[in-house]
Amino acid sequence: MKIVIIDYGAGNIQSIKFAIKRLGFEAVLSSNEEEIKNADKVIFPGVGEASSAMRMLRQSKLDILIPTLKQPVLGICLGMQLMCSKSEEGETTGLGIFDVPVIKFNNSVKVPQIGWNQICELSSPLFKNIKESEYVYLVHSYYVSECEQTIATSEYGVKYSTALRKNNFYGVQFHPEKSSNAGEHILKNFLEL
Amino acid sequence: MLTKRIIPCLDIKNGRTVKGINFVDLRDAGDPVELAAIYAASGADELVFLDISATEERRKTLANLVLKVAEKVNIPFTVGGGISSVEDVDILLQNGADKVSINSSAVKDPDLINRLAAKFGSQCITVAIDAKLIDGEWIVHLVGGKVQTELNLFEWAKEVEMRGAGEILFTSMNNDGTKNGFANEALAKLSTELNIPIIASGGAGNMQHFCDAFIEGKADAALAASVFHFKEIEIKDLKEELKNKGIPVRL
């Protein structure tokens, strides 16, 4: 199986690579169009600020390539947020794969949310053998509301989407690579899609 | 529901753990990677590595250690100690650290917080603050409490938040090493006046102290070293106890 992690200068890529290695697979980093198109699975990471991450995607024309991909694609954290229509962070447009905006948590809760929260209402093969209310690790200041594409929800002041799916595109707000055994199991489920 | 975090802290010197560690089932008590993996398996929510080495090779040694930890450990970890530039942080995050913690360098160069938050995002920037209660005022100290500054804890904490820190690790020098409990009054004030997570540090001696830090101190996370290293408290037992007291934890 050929697994490509999209390389555009953003994200804690090393941890994802290691998590995949612990599952017995090798992932390669790439920003090359052909290599990404020919992969069996594509992982779209992201840590940092939305508008500068979008700028880096545009510079390498990955903003055009990603929405056209046909194989399973998994956006992680900011990667998932960039797959949405737009973000309040830096007032940027997104890739528009998920037709929902990214908004900031209001001040009734501490921002960023840092730590382990539960994922509920799981409805996707991505969560095969994952129990309802399982704990995952999250670090984020912006969130996606519930929408038609929601496949998992969590609560932090509001109920929001912790995972999204549209066709071959999946997005998770949490970090599966840092979410202990449950996180590794979710990554394994993705690789087996 | 977001849970309260339990964080063991490992002191690192030249790539090895230093604080006496009493793990009978450990093949090599000085190996931070093996120790980290054991803590991850025992239910720790996060780990902090505090580097106290003073050699010229320290940057390289620490970067290598981070890479080895990231390879083996599937929970988040923070790295601190001697970090003073964007370049330092870049290599640690690239090698797999989730967050970095800065302390003295932030006091000497407060704009460093802004530069780090702008480049890497607030979520991976923890500012550690050591403070001592002197004549009724909490005063920020540096170099493990040896050097007194003129900064007031609460004013400095607010400035740190405003500049873009994502989290504060507050160590009370009055409580550190006493095993008499955390500085709950100061913690609660920080937690109420600021809108970023607060990690309590210094003073953990028994399970009740953790309950108090979360309930009275309103802390979001609690950090300790020796009570975990010497197995005075097992993380699983601690979490059961917290759960029985109605505190949300990951079990």
- The secondary structure element, H or E, covering residue A172 is strand A169-172
Residue with tokens 């330092």: B88
What's the complex ipTM?
0.93
Going by the DSSP 8-state scheme, the letter that residue B27 receives in this structure is: S
What is the dihedral angle through the alpha carbons of A138, A159, B248, A46, rounded to the nearest 10 degrees? 0
What pLDDT digit, counting tens, does each position of B1-19 carry? 999 999 999 999 888 887 5
Strands B5-13 and B16-17: antiparallel
Q: Is the pLDDT of residue B65 over 80?
A: yes
Q: Name the closest residue on chain A to residue B199, using Cα atoms.
A: A114
Q: What's the pLDDT score for residue B13?
A: 87
* 8 Å CB contact of A48 and B70: no
What pLDDT digit, counting tens, does each position of B164-184 carry? 999 999 999 999 989 999 999
Q: Is the pLDDT of residue B28 over 70?
A: no
Going by the DSSP 8-state scheme, the letter that residue B4 receives in this structure is: P
Q: Does B192 touch chain A (CB under 8 A)?
A: no
Task: Categorize the per-residue pLDDT at B231 as very low, low, confident or very high, splitting at 50, 70 and 90.
Answer: confident
What pLDDT digit, counting tens, does each position of A109-140 carry? 999 999 999 999 999 999 999 999 999 999 99
Task: Categorize the per-residue pLDDT at B239 as very low, low, confident or very high, splitting at 50, 70 and 90.
Answer: very high
Single out the catalytic residue among A49, A77, A84, A134: A77
* 8 Å CB contact of B195 and A107: yes
Domain ranges of chain B: 5-244
Superfamily of domain B5-244: Aldolase class I (3.20.20.70)
How close B179 comes to chain A (CA, Å)? Answer: 26
* 8 Å CB contact of B3 and A116: yes
Residue with tokens 């995949």: A20
Integer angstrom CA distances of residue B228 from B19, B36, B225 = 11, 12, 6
What pLDDT digit, counting tens, does each position of B94-139 carry? 999 999 999 999 999 999 999 999 888 899 999 999 999 999 999 9
Mind listing the domains of chain A with CATH numbers? 3-191 (3.40.50.880)
* 8 Å CB contact of B122 and A183: no
Integer angstrom CA distances of residue B130 from B98, B176, B230 = 22, 10, 24
